[in-house]
Amino acid sequence: MVSSVHEDKVSELESNSPVQSTTSTPGRLGKRKRGKEDGNGSSRTPKLLPRVERTNTLPIADFIEAYVPRPSLKFTITDHSSSADNSTATTTTKKGSTTLSETYTLEIHSAASIPSADFQACFNLIELTSSNDYGNSSIGWSPSKKRKEMKLPDMRYMVLKKQEESKSERTSNAESTKGNGTSQEAKDIALGFLSFMVTYEDGKEVIYCYEIHLAPAMQGKGVGKRMMDLYEEIGRRVGLEKAMLTVFKANAVASRFYERLGYEVDEYSPQPRKLRNGTIKEPDYVILSKPLNNVVEPQKKSDAE
């Protein structure tokens, strides 16, 4: 499963966040610059906050209105199959095969606004797809530390769900699916998510992908690329310099996925270390980045509708 991690961010944020965590990885701790401060204590006309801080103070509704292209929040996946369930729009071709069309939505949340059921579903996806990768790395797997990281104040979420049916569709499908366990509640479960943060990395304003995970049924359908495209577009609209993420070296599938999207090893990715006994210690993760060129202006309210 495609996944990325950013555990080394947590220790840096502890001093500036009410959410505490002890998670850390070797690397560039303490280098984050939180913007300029007036150290003389004088009362001056308030200055405009730096871009990162200004963005992170926005309520989630204002963030969506300013930086999230609404058309990207809904898409349809068309597939060919010999059978279809009752919750899927279908058409039959002249050759007799069945075309399946399913519509999905991406919901944008903050760490504070994400519903508890969605938060738990996101955590379950991490545990399902990546707990082994964490456990086999120098970071280790700690459910409690991961939950704390997921609740960092500036964290935002892109949650994938199947589009909610209309009332008439729900009634029709309820009649046709009696006895097989299918319910509207099951369709409200998060099928994937991408978590990200507008932040600083070595003094640069960036958007950082903490996690991206998809349920097995959603993999191989181009959904991961759609989510990454939206993630990068948000970074462009905010006006950030680059998109970044961390990936385990052992996750070859994820590495190839990011390479196809144009990500390269970042200049600040950790380098091998020579130990006192002469042994070379290779880091088990790598930091990747991608420049966000052609920065666009935030959309106006009329454009967001």
Q: Where are the domains of the chain?
A: 52-78+100-164+187-291
The percent of residues above 90 in pLDDT, for the chain, comes to: 59
**Per-residue pLDDT tens for 213-255?**
999 999 999 999 999 999 999 999 999 999 999 999 999 999 9
Confidence of residue 51 (pLDDT cuts 50, 70, 90): very high
Among candidate residues 124, 105, 19, 8, the one with its CA nearest the CA of residue 64 = 105
Residue 255 is which amino acid? Answer: S
**Per-residue pLDDT tens for 151-186?**
999 999 999 999 976 554 444 444 544 544 444 455
**Per-residue pLDDT tens for 77-127?**
987 654 444 445 555 555 556 678 899 999 999 999 999 999 999 999 999
- Note the pLDDT of residue 273: 86
Select the CATH number that applies to the domain covering 52-78+100-164+187-291 from these four: 3.30.428.10, 3.40.50.720, 3.20.20.10, 3.40.630.30: 3.40.630.30
CB 126 within 8 A of CB 194: no
Distances (CA, A) of 3 to 107, 118, 126, 246: 19, 18, 8, 9
- Note the pLDDT of residue 265: 97
Q: Quick one: which H or E segment has residue 117?
A: helix 116-135
For 45, the token pair is: 């006309």
**Per-residue pLDDT tens for 245-293?**
999 999 999 999 999 999 999 999 999 888 888 888 899 999 999 999 8
pTM over 0.85: no
Residue 45 has pLDDT above 70, yes or no: no
Measured distance CA(216)–CA(178) in Å, rounded: 26
Q: What is the mean pLDDT of the chain?
A: 80
